[in-house]
Structure 1
């Protein structure tokens, strides 16, 4: 006969599973908080001990959902598992997944046949699976929300850093390219020759121009010979890449 109860204590599940309902009163008098107490008191029923151990292990690892005082249990909660409860729907799912060859009478019907109807057991299993999926979806939503908030914070931080860089006068990649083109054009006009072949500068070469700059601004940061040579080379390269042909 199928039990119509919606939830059970672990020891009740073990008693029903082992078909020891006639001895339930005697079994329930044992202090279950003591390890191996069932095996010591009832050595004639070794399956009772194995069943309760199996159920408690499933609860402990989260394979069999359980509640304690109406609150979901987690592996971090350290309490006496004999005082928790497991739902009928979760028991059905647990048995079908872990013991498909066993159909305890208190959960599974053996004399009802509704071929064209969805059985109560099937409904409860599907309901339990749906609730588990909903919990997963809710967890994913929370993770998505946290990730979105983190990305928003990074975007805001990037904007703030860009504003600070602009305020400090540090050129961006675009303005750097523009500066290089401008310097390259100035070098070309200054050190190059006119269309008639006349030299347009008093400096015969780039080296002479660099020497004049370092002599006029000695020790000034950013105007060392090495820095000027490097910047002039970058400027000439950008100009050459920008010129047609």
Structure 2
């Protein structure tokens, strides 16, 4: 008989102990033959030869050991009562959910197909379905966080691109207008500061380098000779000369 179509391999709400042992041992295709040997009992008589199915007796003994010690809830016709008098009753049954929970707890490496689906059977014994569900939930949360971070990054990158283009446009406009850049302006200020130092300074022997006695006289002379030129005004000259002196001192 094909095991996938045998009675014990079909999902049930509750099982007789012998049916559960047969399915656990992977012997569902021999179920009719095994039930005949059991002679209506839940366990095999000691003289019954099932040596060619060694796992069957082990599975049966494990289930009954759990029943006797009340590790595995049991009842009659699917109704749980845990009445010890039912242990030899023909209608003794174990609910599917109790059998699965008991096996997952005490035999985590045992995951027979009549109790566990394909996904559960492929899980590592140390990993529970609840743990997997928690990991999936965490993963979905992390995906949402990542999507938010990516969106924020895209917005920042767009701002960066806009600022870069604006900066480049200003530099191009400055070139067209003849406005010096930061490095060029520093050079010009240093030159102007050096010339002012010479104009107002003296030689090592104390002889003045020029006839200008102070900065005010330099400003007055420039305004008098070149006052019509752009930028040649007292206010502008004082500002530029002060900046030049600061740059040269720095």
Scaled to the shorter chain, the TM-score interval is 0.3 to 0.5
> Normalization by structure 1: what TM-score?
0.45
Instruction: Indicate the structure (1 or 2) with the bigger Cα radius of gyration.
Output: 2
Name the structure, 1 or 2, with higher relative contact order (CA <8 Å, separation 6+). Answer: 1
